[in-house]
Structure 1
Amino acid sequence: MTIPNLDSVFISQRTPLLRTLVKIVKNASIAEELVQETYLRVARSLRDKPVDHLEPFLFQTGRNLALDHLRRERMQSRTMLDDVPDEIMQAVPAPGSSSEDSLHAERLLQRLGNTLEQLSERQQRIFILSRLHGQGYAEIAAELGVSTSTVQKELKLIMTLCMTLIERLAPPT
């Protein structure tokens, strides 16, 4: 199919596609952006190779973009900040803070890095998969060949070590 064919299919399927994406992402404005991105992606694909069944391809591209969006959101929400109490977050220096605060923050990050380097290889892998890649306990357990309970216990231990270090190095208020 060609770009003019895409235009006619897109115009006729735009509303159903939008409804489908709203159901997935639960946000009309994000779904609208995904509809536009879907059109662009499909148009790019058509330049590279012909697509016999354009309508299903359009919907599958939209669904894939919506699922990618949800994965990115999930990863962003699963940061280490989730595990840090508010009072410690308040102690993190704001941009433009004093050089003493900046020096303290630099030391804290250095010591956290040193603490994480002292973990076993498996513990480091669990930490990276959980906090940086956003994987869940079951995914990590399957990848490492251990039980979900082991992953939970190891991650709890790692976070306890980090929190203890942060509390010990927190400046007096």
Structure 2
Amino acid sequence: MSQSRFTALFLNQRLSLLRTLQRMVGNPSTAEDLVQETYLRVTRALGERPVEHLEPFVFQTARNLALDHLRARRVQARTLVDDVCEQVLHNVAAPLSSREDALHAEQLLERLSLSLGQLSERQQRIFILSRLQGASYQEIAEQLQVSASTVQKELKLIMAICVSVAERLA
């Protein structure tokens, strides 16, 4: 098969090949690199010998490259972990929140709860429906029999209160 026929076939199957590789390696950039490497490898193989069933050959070459990549990544990850003593490895991992962070979060939650508790019943309901249950302005308006504009204005006020509480504690 001539190089120009292979190039036409490759361009025709490129998107399918790219999707297959993305599913295998889970990274669009890596998949793109593997597509390019596939093209180079098949071009080299065609220069050395004729290939009877080119399309399956292209996909098998791509698959083999992806498996090689995954295998190398797995070995590298294992090697990196095996080369580091366990104590160092645990110190690199994200530490649990400090006591100060936990105290700060607790204070913030307490103050937010107090501030939200001072809202009117309708405002509390709007906050719960919007932020906790994910209802749209229109859904809330219909449920509370107010306009969507009223819901929007109330939420703006409620969120300003929350931001104010957070800023004072920061």
User: Please, what TM-score do these two structures have when normalized by structure 1?
Assistant: 0.49
Relative contact order: is structure 1 or structure 2 higher (C-alpha 8 Å, sep ≥ 6)? 1
Radius of gyration: which is bigger?
2
